Amino acid sequence: MNKRWIICISALTIGFIFPVVSISSNLDGFEQKVVFQYWRIDRKQETISWFRQNSFPIFVQCAVVDNVMISASRSMAAMKSNDQTLRGLGDTKIRFNYQLPTGYFRTSIGVSLPLGKNILKAGEINLANKLYHEIFEIDVARLGRGLDLDASLIGAITLKSILLSAGMNYLRTGSYNIIKNTFSYDPGDQIQFLLGSQIDRHWIVYQNTLVYRNYSVDRIGGTKSFEQGSELEWYSSLMISVLKAQIDFSLDHKWSEPNPSVTEFGFQRGNTNRNARKLGFGLRYPMTPTLDISARFSNYYIASDESGRGRSSVKQISMGSYLQITDYIRLQLEGRFSGGQMENGTLKLTGRTYLAVLQASI
């Protein structure tokens, strides 16, 4: 098994456990993103709401000693909707990673420092509720929260052309205030277990990742307010190399326990209590030795909640380019155009996203 595929599947599985960006599991460098997102919500040809977000996440990673990496990330974002505005810095996330020289074992410890904006005003809360809906896939859905600590272990073995991996992650969440001078909110701890597999036949690569998550009780002022329960997520992808082109298919399916939606302080919190499915098809082709172009289509569907409300779906077309400027600098540009519906078809959605990513390795 080629070592680069061990790195790839490790990055994939870690990405499902930690929603953080990564240049590579073994490279020093930084990544700067610039993301513009805009969504419009219509009812019967009338625009009832719109919002946009400009975000600027940055990620830095470097080696401390052999096989030990340290990384840090932070986001800045500005959101606007009608006459509502929300802007500020996000929390600072720091992570230490250790990987065996063989690449078959990886462990990490991370901390999210509560340095971002978490105290919100009434208008900011209304805007934050819109950004949190999963169907929009907003780049920065939350700015600040409490002190979070997490630890993870991932191991892998090879059986001929098959790579098998398993891992776990525990997240200890801290409490924080949403509105000034109110009770604190503790979103509850999380534990996750993962099983992964990858089959590499040179011109075809097939991956599967199965993740089980369990969320403990949410508390407000130390009193139980909501129990989100558990969920199961399965991600599968198939990549085929045909001549110079790469064709990929993907399926991401999530099953969750039904739980009542809970709102406190007028602030929407965990809303992962609905089943969701995302299908994707993509094509990537090298135009020159340093320039690749890509196109992708995806269909994202979120089922109704246990009360029969909230069914949403979005179809998205994206086009992008990848330019290797030098041996150490890479630029990605991408545009995404979306259309769909929510609230059981009563609302029409239109969205667009423009993304620029600059990566530099040292």
Residues 309-319: tens digit of each pLDDT: 678 999 999 99
d(CA 8, CA 14): 10
- Kindly tell me if the per-residue pLDDT of 8 is higher than 80: no
Strand bridging mode 245-256 / 276-288: antiparallel
Question: pLDDT value at position 35?
Answer: 96
Of 76-85, 222-231, 290-299, give the lowest mean pLDDT range: 222-231
Residues 185-215 have pLDDT tens digits of 888 899 999 999 999 888 899 999 999 999 8
At residue 232 the predicted structure's pLDDT band, cuts being 50, 70 and 90, is very high
List the domain boundaries for the chain: 3-361
Q: What percent of the chain has pLDDT over 90?
A: 49
Cα 324 to Cα 331: distance, rounded to the nearest angstrom: 6
Please list, in sequence order, all residues whose beta carbon lies within 8 angstroms of the beta carbon of residue 181, skipping any fewer than 6 positions away.
none
DSSP strand pairing (276-288 vs 267-268)? unpaired
- For the entire predicted model, the pTM comes to 0.84
pLDDT tens digits, 150-193: 999 999 898 888 889 999 999 999 888 888 777 788 888 999 99
- Condensed to tens digits (0 to 9), the pLDDT of residues 22-34 reads 344 556 899 999 9
pLDDT band at 3 (very low <50, low <70, confident <90, very high): very low
Task: Return the pLDDT at 250.
Answer: 95
CATH tag for 3-361 (out of 2.40.160, 3.90.105, 2.60.40, 1.10.150): 2.40.160
Confidence label for 92 from pLDDT (cuts 50, 70 and 90): very high
Whether the pLDDT of residue 350 is over 70: the answer is yes
pLDDT per residue over 308-346, tens digit each?
567 899 999 999 999 999 999 999 999 999 999 988 788
CA 169 to CA 230: how far, in whole Å?
A: 14
pLDDT in tens, 9-57: 445 454 554 443 334 455 689 999 999 999 999 988 888 889 999 999 9
pLDDT band at 1 (very low <50, low <70, confident <90, very high): very low
Q: For residues 108 and 95, what is the distance between their CA atoms, to the nearest angstrom?
A: 7
Q: Which of 4-8, 23-27, 80-84, 295-299 has the lowest mean pLDDT?
A: 4-8
> Distance from first CA to last CA of the chain, Å, rounded?
27
Asked if the model's pLDDT at residue 263 lies above 70, the reply is no
